[in-house]
């Protein structure tokens, strides 16, 4: 049986619970699934191309300079379509789903109905 994968998550400039923010009307959940050796190689290669004083390779820092953008493009080009998944939704629909989850589902469960 294959080892259970380790999943790492991070937010990316999200407005979080502010589901009606007109400046950020779309929510995106995305993930990359690669084996540990490939992930380590991509990160090590990115770090080797950056100044030693930069520290952890963060998108917000790298995206601001031409060299950083080049590092990001090289790292992203190492990934295949099979390793990347993204799910987009309009936050207005998340409001409805959250209302059902917080109000309707709980009441339904208490009356014996499992949604």
Dihedral class, residue 16 (left if φ above 0, else alpha if ψ from -120 to 50, else beta): left
Q: What is the pTM of this model?
A: 0.60
Q: Taken in order 99, 14, 31, 36, is the CA torsion positive or negative?
A: negative
Res 9: pLDDT: 67
- Contact (CB, 8 A) for 43 and 34: no
The secondary structure element, H or E, covering residue 30 is: strand 26-32
Measured CA distances, 35 to 7, 31, 40, 71, 84 (Å): 11, 13, 9, 20, 13
- Residue 9 CA to its chain's centroid (Å): 6
Band the pLDDT of 11: cuts 50, 70, 90.
Answer: low
Res 74: pLDDT: 93
For residue range 27-41, list pLDDT tens digits in order. Answer: 888 888 888 888 899
Domain definitions of the chain by residue range: 15-31+87-115, 35-78
Res 10: pLDDT: 67
């Amino acid at each position: 049986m294959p080892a259970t994968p380790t999943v790492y998550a991070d937010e990316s400039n999200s407005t979080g619970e502010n589901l009606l923010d007109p400046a950020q009307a779309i929510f995106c959940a995305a993930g990359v699934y690669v084996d540990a050796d490939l992930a380590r190689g991509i990160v090590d290669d990115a770090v080797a191309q950056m100044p030693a004083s930069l520290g952890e390779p963060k998108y917000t820092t790298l995206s601001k300079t031409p060299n950083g953008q080049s590092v990001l493009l090289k790292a992203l080009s190492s990934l295949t379509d099979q390793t990347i998944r993204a799910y987009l939704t309009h936050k207005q629909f998340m409001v409805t789903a959250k209302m059902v989850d917080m109000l309707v589902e709980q009441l339904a469960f208490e009356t014996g109905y499992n949604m």
